[in-house]
């Protein structure tokens, strides 16, 4: 099975206490695609500029990622610069140059239409809705968003949430959408807006999945997966997108679609996030093996499971 992901490709300039890199290939879609590629075939829809070379593309192609949906536009690729200083949980943005991404209009190649899974990375909710409608035969649609759209386009976001089966956001975003400072209450308000399941990412504390009553199984008990206590976080950029890639990629590789699958997917999300932060940019995600991933899954299990 395969998954289509729609969103940003970028060149990042990142500074952390461990060092600095310039113009490395990043963007939500790149992290997502590399993380998911260890589980399933990934197909990208995005836009890049003339500075995006065959070498950049080969980073993705080496992982079997279908790049036919990457539009090559005149101009420069989206660029982002940021630094993490005292607090590795929060990036200070130095600059954002949208470039060709500013007028991005997602076009789904006809060859992608048989994909059974879809992930809407963080872009304008109206574009997300447009893609979701075009791919409305998929078995499951996952989605992300951010504080900017929650504030600027709440109506459009509400429309998109009706088309998303599993939303993946962080604590602050969930509380903002719901207008409620209590997390489980906020979760149930977000679920009432459309999604059947809601994954709330807690950074270094892991993630919780909340289910709508009866969705993917019985009851509405939530489930928590840990994050790995990591002594050396080199670069937190893309951790959330790698989490989403591990989560959605694992799901796309399963025959069944039930709560147990979604719970395990939550663990695999944490696993891929934990790898992503070990090195700068996508370096670590480029050189993994499925064995390493399953070994770490086992560590996550031992971290949380009683005998």
Return the number of the residue (88 or 100) whose C-beta is nearest its own copies. Answer: 88
Q: Which residue has the tokens 């050189």?
A: 287
Q: How far apart are CA 195 and CA 188, in angstroms?
A: 10
Burial of 230 by CB count in 10 Å (0-12 exposed, 13-18 middle, 19+ buried)? Answer: middle
**Which of 132, 137, 142, 134 lies closest to 40 in space, CA to CA?**
142
233 scored as a contact of its own copies (CB under 8 A): yes
Backbone angles phi and psi of 253, in degrees to 5: -95, 0
Return the number of the residue (88 or 135) whose C-beta is nearest its own copies. Answer: 88
3-state secondary structure of 114: coil
Return the number of the residue (56 or 264) whose C-beta is nearest its own copies. Answer: 264
Q: How far apart are CA 257 and CA 235, in angstroms?
A: 33
Would you state the structure tokens that stand for residue 183, as one six-digit string?
């997390």
Minimum separation from the CB atom of position 157 to its own copies (A)? 23
148 scored as a contact of its own copies (CB under 8 A): no
Query: Looking only at residues 193 through 232 of this chain, which bind its own copies when binding is defined by CB under 8 A?
Result: 202, 204-206, 208, 210, 221-226, 229-232
Binding its own copies (rule: CB under 8 A), the pick from 182, 192, 214, 287 is: 182
58 scored as a contact of its own copies (CB under 8 A): no
Question: What is residue 136's DSSP assignment?
Answer: T
Stretch that binds its own copies, among 121-129, 130-138, 178-186, 190-198 (CB under 8 A): 178-186
Return the percent helix, strand and coil in the chain, to nearest 5: 40, 25, 35
Q: How far is CA 235 from CA 1, 30, 61, 91, in A?
A: 31, 15, 24, 10
Minimum separation from the CB atom of position 202 to its own copies (A)? 6
Q: How far apart are CA 227 and CA 206, in angstroms?
A: 4
Query: Looking only at residues 79 through 108 of this chain, which bind its own copies when binding is defined by CB under 8 A?
Result: 86-88
Q: How many residues bind its own copies (CB under 8 A)?
A: 39
3-state secondary structure of 213: coil
Q: Cα 198 vs. chain centroid, distance in angstroms?
A: 13
Q: How far apart are CA 60 and CA 43, in angstroms?
A: 10
Query: Looking only at residues 261 through 290 of this chain, which bind its own copies when binding is defined by CB under 8 A?
Result: 263-264, 267
Stretch that binds its own copies, among 19-27, 124-132, 133-141, 294-302 (CB under 8 A): 294-302
Minimum separation from the CB atom of position 43 to its own copies (A)? 29
Return the number of the residue (113 or 301) whose C-beta is nearest its own copies. Answer: 301
Minimum separation from the CB atom of position 186 to its own copies (A)? 10
Stretch that binds its own copies, among 21-29, 66-74, 247-255, 258-266 (CB under 8 A): 258-266
Return the number of the residue (55 or 256) whose C-beta is nearest its own copies. Answer: 256
Would you state the structure tokens that stand for residue 76, as one six-digit string?
């420069």
256 scored as a contact of its own copies (CB under 8 A): no
Sites of contact with its own copies (CB under 8 A):
86-88, 181-185, 187-188, 202, 204-206, 208, 210, 221-226, 229-233, 260, 263-264, 267, 299, 301-307
């Amino acid at each position: 099975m395969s998954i289509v992901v729609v969103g940003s490709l970028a060149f990042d300039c990142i500074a952390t206490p461990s060092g600095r890199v310039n113009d490395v290939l990043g963007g939500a879609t790149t992290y997502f695609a590399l993380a998911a590629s260890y589980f399933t075939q990934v197909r990208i829809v995005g836009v890049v500029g003339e500075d995006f070379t065959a070498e950049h593309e080969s980073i993705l192609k080496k992982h079997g990622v279908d790049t036919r949906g990457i539009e090559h536009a005149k101009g420069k690729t989206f660029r982002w610069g940021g630094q993490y200083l005292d607090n590795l949980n929060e990036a200070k943005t130095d600059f954002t140059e949208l470039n060709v991404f500013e007028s991005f209009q997602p076009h789904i190649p006809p060859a992608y239409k048989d994909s059974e899974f879809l992930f809407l990375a963080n872009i304008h909710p109206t574009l997300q809705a447009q893609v979701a409608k075009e791919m409305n035969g998929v078995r499951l649609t996952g989605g992300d968003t951010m504080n900017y759209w929650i504030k600027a386009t709440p109506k459009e976001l509400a429309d998109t949430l009706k088309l998303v089966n599993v939303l993946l956001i962080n604590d602050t975003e969930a509380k903002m959408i719901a207008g409620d400072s209590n997390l489980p209450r906020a979760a149930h308000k977000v679920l009432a807006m459309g999604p059947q399941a809601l994954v709330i990412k807690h950074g270094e504390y892991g993630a919780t999945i909340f289910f709508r009553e009866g969705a993917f199984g019985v009851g509405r008990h939530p489930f928590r997966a840990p994050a790995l206590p990591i002594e050396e976080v080199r670069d937190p950029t893309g951790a959330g997108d790698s989490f989403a890639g591990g989560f959605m990629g694992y799901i796309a590789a399963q025959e069944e679609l039930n709560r147990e699958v979604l719970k395990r997917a939550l663990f695999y999300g944490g696993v891929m996030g934990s790898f992503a932060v070990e090195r700068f940019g996508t370096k670590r995600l480029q050189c993994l093996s499925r064995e390493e991933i399953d070994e770490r899954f086992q560590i996550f299990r031992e971290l949380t499971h009683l005998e």
